[in-house]
Amino acid sequence: MARTARGARRQARRLGLLTAAATACAVMQEPPGGPPDFDPPVLTSVTPDSGAVVPDLDAPMRFQFDEVISERSGGELDRLIQFSPRVEALDVSWKRDAIEVRPKGGWRQGLIYHVVILPGVTDLQTNRTDEGRTILFSTGDSLPDTRLAGTVLDWEDGRVGQGALVEASLLPDSLVYVTVADSVGTFELRSIPLGDYWVTATIDGNANRSRDPRESFDSVSVSLDASATFEFWAFARDTTGPQIRQVAPADSVTVRIEFTQKLAPGDPDSGAVRVFVLPDTIAVPITLVRTEAAYDSLRAAARQAAGDSAAAVTDSLRAAGDTAQAAAAPDTALARVAPAPQPGGAGIAAPGATPASAAADTSAAARLLIQRPTLSAVWYAYVSTPLEAGGRYLVVAIARNVSGAEAESHLPLVVPVPADST
């Protein structure tokens, strides 16, 4: 239907040109070339088409359009082709109104191929397609009825893994089937071979379709015999532990400590942080060390108790740090947080698990995200005696990251003097 409508419009343009030529001396006419074209190219056929079985395939795969397309679509045509199983190199050729694709070295017999043409193909008027198409075909047996699906969560940033790279490696053949998570972090691979897979989901920050050393990821082993669904909790793997990035007083009895990495979930014990007065290195006793979430919860409770008065909340945690009641308050807040996975595990949440507190939430990703505590790189340490204005201290901390790597670090703290002091 789209092709018929386009043909009608183009016929109308040709008739318009003839009419304009016949009356050129009498009336004003549109510029040469007829009315502007605002319609994107239409993909009219694909060879081989989805579902085909072509055991002796030799010719390149062809995406045929209804008009001439730009050779520079999307910057480079090969950036618009997503190909599985992954190959070392592709031959992607521009054929005026078509794109031809084949792996360098030719097609392999007995494989299932997934080829995706992404949105972004443009015509000579720079009209751009906004939809892609996935083509599945086989050079061996018929396509299996299999499905590997799931949701990718960016655990480090507490959000869905939009655009995450998902790679399913068939073992022991090392064939890698690739897809990309959608705007809500979900993905699906259909009609991939039966067998054992190692599946990795990566937060592909630079969109280069590969996992770089510092990018967050999660992985799991899958034995696929029909259908499987998983949740992936991506975080960066660091073999060296977190270091203190900066320290600052949160109030007169609380030190805020920020680290270079996200920390393992859970409440640290008071021995994880030590504070010394400089230059004599006299130890200042620590009463509590709390995560950022626990500190925020306790501060919100103090603000509510103070009638939302910011002035009243200032140093309102001081008394809390000196009493057993205060120690219980953060623990109560933390009791609502699900326990963290053990370091080194695959990080896969139980499929279908939905906490009752999320029943009113319509977002599946949001329901998943509250199953685990939000990762943070901040601790708050409560000292037993108030910090002195202008005083100099040394803060020492032993912290563990999400991967389980631990490190000790230290940084000096200088307490600022209030501007109105004399």
Per-residue pLDDT for 359 more than 60? no
Structure tokens at 364: 């599946």
Residue 409: strand pairing partners: 397
**Beta strands 133-138 and 147-154: pairing type?**
unpaired
Type of residue numbered 48? P
Give mean pLDDT, residues 209-235: 93
pLDDT tens-digit profile of 408-418?
999 999 999 98
pLDDT tens-digit profile of 185-206?
999 999 999 999 999 999 998 8
Per-residue b or e along 9-35, where b marks 16 or more CB atoms closer than 10 Å to that residue's CB: ebeeeeeebeeeeeeeeeeeeeeeebe
pLDDT tens-digit profile of 133-175?
999 999 999 999 999 999 999 999 999 999 999 999 999 988 9
| Mean pLDDT score of the chain | 82
Spatial CB neighbours of 173, under 8 Å, sequence gap ≥ 6: none
Number of residues that make up the chain: 422
pLDDT value, residue 361: 34
- 3-class SS string, 152-168: EEECCCCEECCCCEEEE
What are the strands, taking DSSP E only, across 205-285? 217-224, 227-234, 244-251, 254-259, 273-277, 282-284
**Surface-to-core class of residue 88, CB atoms within 10 Å of its CB (0-12 exposed, 13-18 middle, 19+ buried):** exposed
Per-residue pLDDT for 215 more than 50? yes
Per-residue pLDDT for 324 more than 70? no
Give mean pLDDT, residues 398-417: 96
Output the pTM of the full model.
Answer: 0.74
Task: Give the confidence band of 310 by pLDDT, cuts at 50, 70, 90.
Answer: low
